Amino acid sequence: MTSLVPPAGSSPAELLKWASENGVREVDVKFTDVRGVVQHFSVPFHHFDEDVFTHGLGFDGSSIQGFQTINVSDLNLLPDPSTAFIDPIPAKTTLSIFCDVLDISGEPYGRDPRGVARRAEQYLKDTGIADVCYFGPEAEFFIFTGVAYDSQPNGTFYKVESSSGFWATGEMGQGYRPRIKEGYFPVSPTDKLQDLRAEMVEQLLNVGVDIEVHHHEVGGAGQAEIDMRFQPLLSMADKLLIYKYIIRNVAYQHGYTATFMPKPIFGDNGSGMHCHQSLWKGGQPLFYDANGYALLSETALHYIGGILRHAPAILAFAAPTTNSYRRLVPGYEAPVNLVYSARNRSAAIRIPMYSTSPKAKRIEARFPDPSCNPYLAFSALLMAGLDGIKNKIHPGDPADYDLYEEGHDTPTVPGSLQGALDALAADHDFLLEGGVFTPDYIETYINYKKAHDVDPIALRPHPYEFMLYYDC
């Protein structure tokens, strides 16, 4: 395996020397818009010098979703050398590097999602509660053999095809297709994607994304999971974006298409992104107590309490699409119940019980999905947890029972993106602590999501409405 990552801690000069020695021809600078969609442009290597790491590279912020208006469009990108790697996707040897967004004043740009994550990590240290929050997201996705979709004033449709899709058993072929909700864990030839996932894993490892395990997921039509090893918040958010980039491109190179859309298939499991979290201070874990419920400390319980209290608002960032709420319905292992429990996968917060090691003790928020902007979602989860610790918010009794049995009345997640945005509008003071989020960011985000997500879906006839109402 060839590493495409420079030595850790390389200065800009050391990074450029390493890049030159490795034949780099271009530098690709990357950042994200409000949605978490990676944006980029490339610079010939001979024009990319140390000065760029001080003065940045200019770009048009008015052309980026959720950023500037046209009359104040100029912004700068400041490359972060710690994020650099040689990109295995382009034909030319290309150094890829993530950037922070700066205003023309040289100050961090307030609407830069990566800047939110930076401030969240700093706020954590400033509180004195902990000095690092580790995140381990499990981003699920589907691998399809083809996709088609269109939306016109007089009609709309979508269709996906999968070599594993159970709906295709009526067609002549070689068989071995997982039944609905039976994709976890058949061997080949039922699991037709082993080699493709292995290629994805190899490419991820090469660019510095540490992988622990990969497998077919419950969704029968090619649902997959490749799990990353935990990292501090900002580093993990960077790596999740690299993860999605590599997976999409490797799938594309092999004639497949990968999607992180939360619910692309009706009647089968959707794709979540369960977020494992733990706080550490001075190299010691803070979530472990040998005498606590599920070996959890009081700090961990209060962290859970904060997340459960603020979960409806967090969902505006952690499940930020209208499609997210096709997944967040009862059944399908969907964590719609705002309770916590050891081992119970229908609870919003699960306590993994695989290990009794203090270092392994963590909590798992199960309601986020991989359509989110990780800088914003991880930061919102951390800020809610810290609010729970500061205000000693206890989560109540654990839900160690079947949440779908009658007689268990529990609070649930909002039923729509509009409901989550309303919750964020009503409950966001905890996000403003330490200037992590700003009132401008919250207001801009809510207005953007309403205009670009909620309203366009609400205004359009749905194909199934023709099934229900055409003969009314």
The CA R_g of the chain, rounded to the nearest whole Å, is: 22
Which of the four CATH numbers 3.30.70.260, 3.30.360.10, 3.10.20.70, 3.40.50.970 does domain 12-109 have?
3.10.20.70
Phi, psi of 365, deg, nearest 5: -85, 120
Share of residues in the chain with pLDDT > 90 (%)? 82
Q: Give the residue extent of every domain in the chain.
A: 12-109, 125-469
What are residue 212's phi and psi, to 5 degrees?
A: -100, -35
- pTM comes to 0.95
d(CA 384, CA 348): 14
For 439, other C-beta atoms within 10 Å of its C-beta total 11
Interval 361-381: pLDDT, tens: 999 999 999 999 999 999 999
Amino acid 1: pLDDT: 44
pLDDT score for 189: 87
**pLDDT at 455 exceeding the cut of 70:** yes
pLDDT band at 190 (very low <50, low <70, confident <90, very high): confident
* Average pLDDT of every residue of the chain: 93
Categorise residue 328: left if φ over 0, alpha if ψ from -120 to 50, beta otherwise.
beta
Question: DSSP string covering 88-106, please?
Answer: SSSSS-EEEEEEEEE-TTS
8 A C-beta contact, residue 243 and residue 38: no
Question: Is the pLDDT at 89 greater than 60, yes or no?
Answer: yes
Top-tier CATH class for 125-469: alpha beta
* CA dihedral (305, 311, 314, 317) positive or negative: positive
pLDDT tens digits along 306-364: 999 999 999 999 999 999 999 998 766 678 999 999 977 778 999 998 889 999 999 99
DSSP-based three-state secondary structure for 56: coil
List residues with catalytic annotation: 60, 138, 140, 217, 225, 274, 345, 364, 366
- Please report the pLDDT score of residue 331 as a whole number: 66
